[in-house]
Chains A and B, each alone.
Chain A
Amino acid sequence: MQPLFRSRRDRLDRLRRQREEAVEAAARREAAAHGGSQTCPGCGAECSNQELVKTEYVCPHCGYHLPIGAYLRLSLLLDPFSFRELWPELTAPNALDFPGYEGKLAAQREKTALSDAAVAAVGKLDGHQGVFAVLDSRFFMGSMGVAVGEKITRAAEYARKHRLPLIIFSASGGARMQEGILSLMQMAKTSAAIERFSKAGGLYISVFTHPTTGGVTASFASLGDITLAEPGALIGFAGPRVIQQTIGQELPQGFQRAEYLEDHGFVDQIVPRGEMRKTLSQLLALHRKGVFHR
């Protein structure tokens, strides 16, 4: 396809997505992408997509939280018609001339209709205005390259400028290897933006979803004023395989899961998907600036 056509088509795709923001519509698209049913990675049960739409993609048999895309996540959280996507066209070039990277990026875009692994939006959750950013693990495992780093940084800067709370849902395999050192530098860039936002008095709620590891765990995802996690989410700096190779022994049951992090003091609360909206609403209300603020 010609690049011009492709970019026009992508733009139309995005405009369409922004209109179709109701839960049902987004969930139906998700269902269509996976056919009639999915096998639960938690218990192996065959779950029909009709069923999963109703449970917000949580296994009705064992409670396993299946990964969901960024737009579906936003549609589950935000009030209908309150959603405005920020910087939807943001991408990063192949700055290191890494062999084959452009082709891989194009394939990921084709597969997911995303421009890169992060989606940012300004919108209302239960009437509370906020800036929301969501990583999408379907795009290059949600890895952070320059585009993701830039979007998170802009989200924090936008929230600071407009004095809005910032809510980020992480899901990431870590750094985008093909962007090498520049991807590493995004850890410093995003952390610096969160720090500035924090010093300006902004509220940042970080939510870990399955799986979040590497450079995202070691930067903005670990800097929340409030830190939440979905049940069973794998959260860590080093990946389990690397750790196993390093120490040469089996990893304990439940290691690096959300519950393990809660036990070790790195998560305020584990919140099931079905209660996330209510919990965030409560937190946003608790931090609403009133007469006693400052």
Chain B
Amino acid sequence: MSKLTAAQRVKLARTPGRPGTLDFVQHLFTDVFVCKGDRLGREDPSIFGAVARFHGRPVTVLGHRKGRTFEENMKCNFGMPSPDGYRKAQRLMRQAEKFGRPIITFIDTPGAYPGLEAEAGGQGEAIASCLALMSGLTVPVIAVVIGEGGSGGALALAVGNRVIMLENAVYSVLSPEGFASILWKDAGRAEEAAGVMKLTAADLLKLGVADQVIPEPEEGAHTDPEVVYAAVDRAIVRHLSQLEKERDLAAQRYQKFRAMGAVREETEA
């Protein structure tokens, strides 16, 4: 693995040419049928949803979508979903549960959109319901953090039995800019924030948040994406076959997240 600083990895994770959800979908799946809409009157293009085949087997695919061109960026709100997107995701997760399909998610968002309409539509409730629903699914869930894993907006699709990260992907409670502005009232100290936030794939592997890190080419995933697609493909195959042997996937997932963060407790004298 390369020896980049955390701030350099943040930059790589946001590189415009970096493979996004649609690229992974195109290279890893066949027979892709795109599913749109939350059935509550809205469609949010910043969350991609589809039924597709993975090595011949039907799966449900979800992921954040940032868009390639400026026009697409605008349409996808730069990968910042609205509550409608999270409600579409919930609908497709329930559907996957009904048909016994594994769920593969691709995480790549600066965070859920902080706007007037998003708040009016219950951004908090939409994310919370995603977390609750995902935690109880009985089908295998594999989350792959491919770029930016920003805050609750990322976690909403990442309550997986396995969480895989690309080497230069980052995953954090808030963007380094937001973190610096909250803690130090100075968004300009984002690089310094990145350094203390423990947001790199290697950090998260150590903390038990990520289960596997997939190495990238020296200069980043966008310089040789085919290698990355193949490695992600192999990882998903391996984890899916492991998870098929698990007796209770909901219990396994519960225990995985239940164990996050150690506590201290003095016994009463």
Residue numbers of A with Cβ under 8 A of B are 7-8, 11, 87, 89-93, 95-96, 98-99, 145-147, 149-150, 153, 175, 177-189, 191-196, 198-199, 214-215, 217-223, 235-238, 242-243, 246-247, 251-252, 255-256, 260, 264-266
Q: How far is the CB of B6 from chain A (nearest CB, A)?
A: 12
Complex alpha-carbon distance, A196 and B134, angstroms: 12
Complex alpha-carbon distance, A217 and B207, angstroms: 25
Pick the contact of A181: B122, B127, B207 (CB < 8 A): B207
Within B109-167, the residues touching A (CB, 8 Å) are 112-116, 118-125, 127-129, 131-133, 135-136, 151-152, 155-156, 159
Q: How far is the CB of A75 from chain B (nearest CB, A)?
A: 21
Q: Is B25 part of the binding interface, using a Cβ–Cβ cutoff of 8 Å? A: no
Interface of A, helix, strand, loop or mixed by DSSP: helix
Which 8 pairs between the two chains have the least Cβ-Cβ distance? A238-B114, A146-B261, A192-B135, A217-B124, A191-B131, A222-B128, A185-B260, A237-B124
Stretch of B26-34, B49-57, B193-201, B241-249 contacting A (4+ beta carbons < 8 Å): B193-201
Stretch of B67-75, B170-178, B213-221, B224-232 contacting A (4+ beta carbons < 8 Å): B170-178
Task: Determine whether the beta carbon of A192 is less than 8 Å from that of B116.
Answer: no
- Residues of B with C-beta under 8 A to A223: 128-129, 132
Complex alpha-carbon distance, A109 and B269, angstroms: 20
If A184-B151, A187-B155, A237-B118 touch, whether A192 touches B261 (CB-CB below 8 Å) is: no
Task: Determine whether the beta carbon of B119 is less than 8 Å from that of A236.
Answer: yes
A-B interface pairs (CB < 8 A), number: 194
Residue numbers of B with Cβ under 8 A of A are 112-116, 118-125, 127-129, 131-133, 135-136, 151-152, 155-156, 159, 171-174, 178-179, 182-183, 196-199, 203-204, 207, 209, 253-254, 257-258, 260-269
Q: How far is the CB of A143 from chain B (nearest CB, A)?
A: 10
Task: Determine whether the beta carbon of B261 is less than 8 Å from that of A219.
Answer: no
- Residues of A with C-beta under 8 A to B132: 191-192, 194-195, 198, 223
- Residues of A with C-beta under 8 A to B171: 181
Task: Determine whether the beta carbon of A184 is less than 8 Å from that of B120.
Answer: no
- CB-defined A-B contacts under 8 Å, sample of 26: A11-B269, A89-B264, A89-B265, A89-B268, A95-B207, A95-B262, A96-B197, A145-B261, A146-B261, A181-B172, A182-B207, A184-B173, A186-B261, A188-B257, A191-B132, A196-B136, A214-B152, A218-B112, A219-B128, A222-B124, A223-B129, A236-B119, A237-B152, A238-B123, A243-B114, A256-B119
Task: Determine whether the beta carbon of B116 is less than 8 Å from that of A219.
Answer: no
Complex alpha-carbon distance, A84 and B166, angstroms: 47
A88 closest partner in B (C-beta): B268
Task: Determine whether the beta carbon of B257 is less than 8 Å from that of A192.
Answer: yes
Task: Determine whether the beta carbon of B262 is less than 8 Å from that of A146.
Answer: yes
Task: Determine whether the beta carbon of B182 is less than 8 Å from that of A91.
Answer: no
Of B112, B124, B204, most buried by chain A (CB within 10 Å of CB) is B124
Complex alpha-carbon distance, A96 and B208, angstroms: 12
B261 closest partner in A (C-beta): A146
- Residues of B with C-beta under 8 A to A214: 152
